[in-house]
Structure 1
Amino acid sequence: MDIIGNGFLARHLRSIAHGHRGVVVAAAGVSAALHTAPEAFRREADLVRDLVHRCRRTGERLVFFSTASSGIYSTPGRPGTEDGEVRPATAYGRHKHALEQELSASPVDCLVLRLAHVVGPAQPAHQLLPALAAQIRSGSVRIFPGARRDLIDVADVVSVVDALLTAGVGRTIVNVASGCAEPIEHIVDHIQLRLGRTARWTYGTPVVTQDIDITRLRTLVPAVDAMGFAPGYFRAVLDAYLPSPQLSA
Structure 2
Amino acid sequence: MDIVGNGFLARQLRPLADRHPDTVALAAGVSRAGGATDADFAREAALLRDTARRCAATGRRLLFFSTAAIGMYGSAGGPGREDEPVTPGTPYGAHKLALERQLRDSGAEHLVLRLGHLVGPGQPAHQLLPTLVRQLRSGVVRIHRGATRDLIGVGDATTLVDLLLGLGLRAETVNVASGFDVPVEDVVDHLSRRLGLAARREYQDTSAGRHVVSTEKLRRLVPRATTLGFGPGYYRRVLDEFAASAFA
TM-score, scaled relative to structure 2: 0.96
Query: 2:180 is paired with a residue of what secondary structure?
Result: coil
Match of 2:221 in 1: 220
CA distances 1:7-34 after superposition (whole Å, capped 9, x unpaired): 0000010001101101001101100111
CA contact (8 A) 2:30 2:36 kept: no
Distance 1:222 1:106 in 2: 31
CA contact (8 A) 1:132 1:188 kept: yes
Query: 2:185 is paired with a residue of what secondary structure?
Result: helix
From the superposition, tell whether residues 244 and 39 of structure 1 become closer, same or farther in structure 2 (CA, over 3 Å).
Answer: closer
Query: 2:187 is paired with a residue of what secondary structure?
Result: helix
Distance 2:119 2:100 in 1: 23
Match of 2:62 in 1: 62
The runs of 4+ residues in structure 1 deviating greater than 4 Å are none
Distance 1:13 1:111 in 2: 15
Match of 1:232 in 2: 233
> 190-199 vs 100-109, which deviates more?
100-109
CA distances 1:95-152 after superposition (whole Å, capped 9, x unpaired): 1010011112232111111111000111110111111111111111111111001100
Query: 2:72 is paired with a residue of what secondary structure?
Result: coil
CA contact (8 A) 1:76 1:208 kept: no
Distance 1:102 1:57 in 2: 16
Match of 1:185 in 2: 185
CA distances 1:157-212 after superposition (whole Å, capped 9, x unpaired): 11011001111122111111000011111100001011101111001114422210
1:10-159 matched pairs, under 5 angstroms? 10-159=10-159
Query: 2:112 is paired with a residue of what secondary structure?
Result: strand
Gaps of at least 5 residues in structure 1 are none
TM superposition shift of 1:89: 1.0
Letter paired with 1:135: Q
Distance 2:112 2:9 in 1: 15
TM superposition shift of 1:85: 2.0
Task: Report the aligned-residue RMSD.
Answer: 1.5
CA contact (8 A) 1:82 1:173 kept: yes
Match of 1:175 in 2: 175
CA contact (8 A) 1:76 1:209 kept: no
Distance 1:159 1:76 in 2: 27
> 19-28 vs 74-83, which deviates more?
74-83
Letter paired with 1:231: P
Distance 1:244 1:94 in 2: 33
CA contact (8 A) 2:149 2:211 kept: no
Gaps of at least 5 residues in structure 2 are none
From the superposition, tell whether residues 112 and 244 of structure 1 become closer, same or farther in structure 2 (CA, over 3 Å).
Answer: closer
Letter paired with 1:111: L
Q: Percent identity?
A: 52
Distance 2:81 2:185 in 1: 25
CA contact (8 A) 2:119 2:129 kept: yes
CA contact (8 A) 1:27 1:65 kept: yes
Distance 2:164 2:125 in 1: 29
Distance 1:28 1:149 in 2: 22
TM superposition shift of 1:244: 9.5
Letter paired with 1:157: A
Distance 2:210 2:105 in 1: 29
